[in-house]
């Protein structure tokens, strides 16, 4: 066994003995502090020096002094002992979800208001949980969850839509509104007629990223006997709104998107025929029921009262 291998066998007890002697610079006082007699301490220090292959103390009959090697090791040994002392508390905190790493995916609409507010409140309450945030569409979130690369996700969907194999908790519900080019004649009306809106070209997200909401939008047209004229598809809500601003068509977007104030775009809630209602969409926190970490459980406990506030 070489010298490096021997040094790996140094026990925490020996580092405590080293620190005690380095601080007392007296074998008798250090032994008293360690609740041991002097001869075993002398042997322990000699064994530590032998394992490291260096002298840590210069000894005379009258004094004990640290060598340069001992001086260099002292702060490191103190840090090692402090970290070792903190380990039981850290383990308990990690088991309780108060320390750890939480990976959250989210759709862009959550990022306008809900997510920043929740992240701030959660970090203030549990600052030792590191949050990793990833903006992703619904289809990408499902892949991340399936591969274990995300702990939970905020997803948009139609009311009552269930995601196979996933647990979920509804966070918020909101109606769709229409985004119009500011230069469009219908934009001058506070409540443009639904029938007139359904004749306009449509900018929409691909069905694969939000299938239930995509189907709800198309059903709005079909119920009125119209076929959507899709002018352009785009994935991100910001991109959809930008395309509307460019005049490519109108878009049906969640109410929360109104906070994205883009020059050249207005948002309207249309006038509806009697008995008709606009589709609504829900935001849910989604996770794999078989993969709930302590930090995710802590986040879900945090989400319960926050969800109640959203509904007031």
Same domain as 289, residue 146: yes
Question: Which among 68, 95, 122 is the end of a domain?
Answer: 95
CATH number at residue 117: 3.40.190.10
- The reported pLDDT for the residue numbered 288 is 92
Q: What is the DSSP letter of 149?
A: S
Same domain as 271, residue 226: yes
Question: Which among 38, 61, 95 is the end of a domain?
Answer: 95
- The reported pLDDT for the residue numbered 306 is 59
Question: Which among 56, 73, 95 is the end of a domain?
Answer: 95
Q: How far is CA 236 from CA 24, 83, 220, 242, 273, in A?
A: 65, 45, 21, 10, 30
Same domain as 158, residue 142: yes
Same domain as 288, residue 165: yes
Give the pLDDT confidence of 81-103 residue by residue, as tens digits.
Answer: 888 887 776 667 666 666 788 99
Please compute Rg for the chain using Cα positions. Answer: 32
Question: Distance (Å, rounded) from C-alpha 73 to C-alpha 248?
Answer: 69
- The model scores a pTM over 0.75: no
Same domain as 219, residue 294: no
Question: Can you give the residue range of the structural domain that contains 206?
Answer: 174-280
- The reported pLDDT for the residue numbered 155 is 93
- The reported pLDDT for the residue numbered 308 is 47
Question: Distance (Å, rounded) from C-alpha 197 to C-alpha 150?
Answer: 39
Give the pLDDT confidence of 207-249 residue by residue, as tens digits.
Answer: 999 999 999 999 999 999 999 999 999 999 999 999 999 999 9
Same domain as 229, residue 251: yes
Same domain as 287, residue 167: yes
- The reported pLDDT for the residue numbered 274 is 83
- The reported pLDDT for the residue numbered 172 is 87
Cβ(171)–Cβ(113) below 8 Å = no
CATH number at residue 29: 1.10.10.10
What's 15-82 look like in SS3?
A: HHHHHHHHHHCCHHHHHHHCCCCHHHHHHHHHHHHHHHCCCCEEECCCCEEECHHHHHHHHHHHHHHH
Same domain as 159, residue 110: yes
Same domain as 289, residue 159: yes
Same domain as 286, residue 273: no
φ, ψ (nearest 5 deg) of residue 117: -65, -45
Give the pLDDT confidence of 125-148 residue by residue, as tens digits.
Answer: 888 888 999 999 999 999 999 999
What is the tally of structural domains in the chain? 3
Same domain as 8, residue 31: yes
pLDDT in tens, the chain (312 residues): 454 554 457 788 889 988 999 999 999 898 999 999 999 999 989 989 988 999 999 988 888 999 999 899 999 999 988 888 877 766 676 666 667 889 999 998 888 888 898 999 998 988 888 899 999 999 999 999 999 999 999 999 999 887 778 998 888 899 999 999 999 999 999 999 999 999 999 999 999 999 999 999 999 999 999 999 999 999 999 999 999 999 999 999 999 999 888 899 999 999 988 878 889 999 999 999 888 888 898 898 888 765 544 443
Same domain as 165, residue 288: yes
């Amino acid at each position: 066994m070489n010298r490096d291998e021997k040094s790996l066998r140094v026990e925490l007890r020996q580092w405590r003995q080293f620190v005690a002697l380095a601080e007392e610079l007296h074998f008798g006082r250090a032994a008293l502090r360690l609740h041991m007699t002097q001869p075993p301490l002398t042997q322990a220090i000699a064994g530590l020096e032998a394992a490291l292959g260096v002298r840590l103390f210069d000894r005379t009959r009258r004094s004990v002094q640290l060598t340069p090697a001992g001086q260099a090791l002292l702060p490191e040994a103190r840090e090692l002992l402090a970290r070792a002392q903190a380990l039981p508390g850290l383990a308990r905190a990690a088991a309780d979800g108060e320390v750890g790493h939480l990976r959250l995916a989210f759709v862009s609409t959550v990022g306008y208001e809900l997510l920043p507010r929740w992240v701030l409140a959660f970090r203030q309450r549990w600052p030792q949980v590191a949050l990793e945030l990833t903006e992703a569409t619904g289809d990408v979130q499902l892949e991340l969850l399936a591969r274990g690369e995300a702990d939970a996700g905020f997803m948009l969907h139609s009311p009552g839509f269930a995601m196979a194999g996933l647990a979920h908790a509804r966070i918020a519900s909101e109606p769709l509104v229409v985004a119009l080019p500011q230069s469009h004649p219908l934009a001058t009306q506070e409540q443009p007629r639904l029938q007139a809106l359904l004749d306009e070209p449509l900018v929409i997200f691909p069905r694969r990223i939000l299938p239930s909401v995509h189907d709800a939008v198309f059903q709005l047209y079909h119920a009125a006997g119209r076929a959507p004229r899709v002018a352009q598809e785009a994935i991100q809500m910001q991109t959809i709104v930008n395309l509307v601003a460019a005049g490519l068509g109108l878009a049906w977007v969640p109410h929360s998107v109104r906070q994205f104030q883009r020059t050249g775009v207005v948002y309207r809630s249309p006038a509806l025929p009697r008995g008709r209602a606009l589709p609504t969409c829900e935001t849910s926190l989604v996770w794999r029921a078989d993969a709930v970490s302590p930090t995710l459980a802590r986040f879900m406990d945090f989400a319960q009262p926050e969800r109640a506030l959203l509904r007031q």
